[in-house]
């Protein structure tokens, strides 16, 4: 069997199956909602297709319920575990892709104060959510806690940034002639 091309979505599925096994795509989706979706989004339908693709490639085993809903149940194969382990040990030098509507609006001249209030509320809410999750994972997997620490740090920075903009006088809005200071 040739080695399939694996994407980050592949590794998310393999990693979540490793944690849950055995797991249905619905189980994987539910765990993703509580964990990886906070920093790596995957359309729910893609989880179902990726499970099937990884099973076809021999990285997941698939069983089908004989009765009832005839759900597909997946477990990590030794080949899947090896692929996941190799990926874990590869260095990651790529930076994340930031897609933030508020930052895009700032770039094109939106009034920072008009954006800051809603952004502060949203980031404070997310920070509270991350901190609550962090507290609940006191004895959880170390990697999950480390990922939450990254999210908590980002939220603190966003709160610092939007608080500063809320306190500053508004520049001329919409002219596109603002100068950037970093």
- Model confidence at 177, pLDDT cuts 50, 70, 90, reads very low
Residue of 59, 53, 51 whose CA lies nearest to 84: 59
Share of the chain above pLDDT 70, in %: 92
pLDDT at residue 126 tops 80: yes
Which of 43-52, 80-89, 135-144, 171-180 is least confident? 171-180
pLDDT at residue 179 tops 60: no
pLDDT at residue 5 tops 80: yes
Which carries the bigger pLDDT value, residue 164 or residue 93?
164
Give the pLDDT of residue 176: 47
* Prior bond of 22 cis (ω within 30°): yes
- Count CB-CB contacts under 10 A for residue 180: 6
Q: How far, in Å, CA of 33 to CA of 107, rounded?
A: 31
pTM of the model: 0.76
């Amino acid at each position: 069997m040739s080695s399939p091309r694996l994407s980050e979505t592949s590794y998310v599925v393999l990693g979540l199956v490793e944690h849950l096994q055995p797991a249905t795509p619905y189980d994987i989706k539910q765990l993703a909602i509580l964990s990886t979706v906070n920093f790596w989004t995957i359309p729910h339908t893609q989880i179902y297709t990726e499970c099937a693709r990884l099973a076809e490639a021999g990285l997941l085993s698939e069983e089908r319920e004989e009765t009832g809903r005839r759900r597909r149940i997946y477990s990590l194969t030794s080949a899947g575990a090896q692929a996941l382990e190799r990926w874990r040990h590869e260095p990651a030098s790529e930076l994340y892709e930031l897609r933030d509507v508020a930052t895009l609006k700032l770039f094109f001249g939106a009034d920072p104060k008009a954006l800051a209030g809603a952004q502060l509320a949203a980031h404070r809410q997310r920070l509270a959510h991350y901190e609550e999750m962090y507290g609940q994972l006191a004895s959880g997997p170390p990697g999950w806690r480390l990922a939450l620490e990254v999210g908590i740090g980002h939220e603190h920075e966003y709160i610092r940034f939007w608080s500063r903009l809320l306190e500053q006088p508004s520049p001329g809005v919409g002219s596109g002639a603002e100068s950037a200071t970093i």
